Amino acid sequence: MTQAEGGAALSRDQGITLWRQIARAVEGDITSGTLAIGAKLPTEAELSARFAVNRHTVRRALEELQRQGLVRVEQGRGSFVAEESIDYEVVPRTRFSEWIRRHNKEPSGQVLEVREVVAEAAVAAALGLRGGARVVRFERLGLADAMPVSLSMHYFPQARLPGLAAALQASGSVTAALAACGVPDYLRQSTRVTARLPHPREAELLRLPRTRPLLVAENINVEPDGTVIEFTISRYPTPRVQMVFEP
């Protein structure tokens, strides 16, 4: 039996490979909270010294932890405890607070901007507006247990919803603000999903490395009669959020 630094012991005579024992030891550090979510793991050299093994053995253990989804490896930066991933179910009625509470987490949000602006061409087309029409632009950072999980930019037809900007500023909630303006219900009409690397501001707000991709969802929401009421561009950090499409 090999006594590793810090009191961890590796057995060489119980039929369990050393790399698997190391993986179990690091997994124990993660599940016990010794290594917190998002924390950087010791380097390969440090783990080699701790367990008195070569780096190849440590690397094999880290590969196994990555395969299990417990660790994420970033080229040039090291290994980190993986964040818990939550499923975002793309359904006709998706409300942020309900989504987060379904995963036993506490939802919260930060209003970043509420402004009335002239719609860009793509926004006007999505909302079915003429060029030069004014829209309400609302940007919000969504959090689950204080961890950022979404950064969304919402656009609404200003003429259709007088008073919406003030309602959004007061409540910070799209659903509550729309209800205050006479829209008690709305449905998702379409969702288009792409992926890309984050811009510097996105990475900072979402607490995400520039090397980790975002899921970008463009949504068009409508009233029950089919009237387009909202166009949204939402960005979700991977692997913190996974999108689930079901028939």
Segment 132-136 mean pLDDT? 96
The domain spans of the chain are 2-81, 86-245
Structure tokens at 1: 């039996």
Q: Is residue 10 exposed (0-12), middle (13-18) or buried (19+ Cβ within 10 Å)?
A: buried
Segment 80-88 mean pLDDT? 85
**6-15, 140-149, 174-183, range with the lowest pLDDT:** 6-15
Which bin fits 38, alpha (ψ -120 to 50), beta or left (φ > 0)? left
Q: Tell me the DSSP string of 32-65.
A: TTSS-TTPBPPPHHHHHHHHT--HHHHHHHHHHH
What per-residue confidence (pLDDT) applies to 180?
96
What per-residue confidence (pLDDT) applies to 4?
45
Q: What is the pLDDT of residues 165-190, one digit of tens each?
A: 999 999 999 999 999 999 999 999 99
What per-residue confidence (pLDDT) applies to 13?
66
Nearest to 152 by CA among 173, 131, 127: 173
Q: Are 178 and 229 in contact (CB under 8 A)?
A: yes
Q: What is the pLDDT of residues 38-47, one digit of tens each?
A: 789 999 999 9
Taking the CA atoms of residue 173, residue 178, residue 181 and residue 184 in that order, the dihedral angle to the nearest 10 degrees is -120
Q: CATH classification of 86-245 is 3.40.1410.10, yes or no?
A: yes
Q: Is residue 234 exposed (0-12), middle (13-18) or buried (19+ Cβ within 10 Å)?
A: buried
Backbone angles phi, psi at 155, to 5 degrees: -125, 135
- Confidence grade of residue 32 (pLDDT, cut at 50, 70, 90): confident
Q: What is the pLDDT of residues 53-80, one digit of tens each?
A: 999 999 999 999 988 878 888 777 888 8
Q: Cα–Cα distance between 18 and 12 in angstroms, integer?
A: 7
Neighbours of 110 (CB within 10 A): 13
Q: Cα–Cα distance between 184 and 207 in angstroms, integer?
A: 34
Residues 165, 167, 173, 178: is their CA dihedral positive or negative?
negative
* Architecture category of domain 2-81 in CATH: Orthogonal Bundle (1.10)
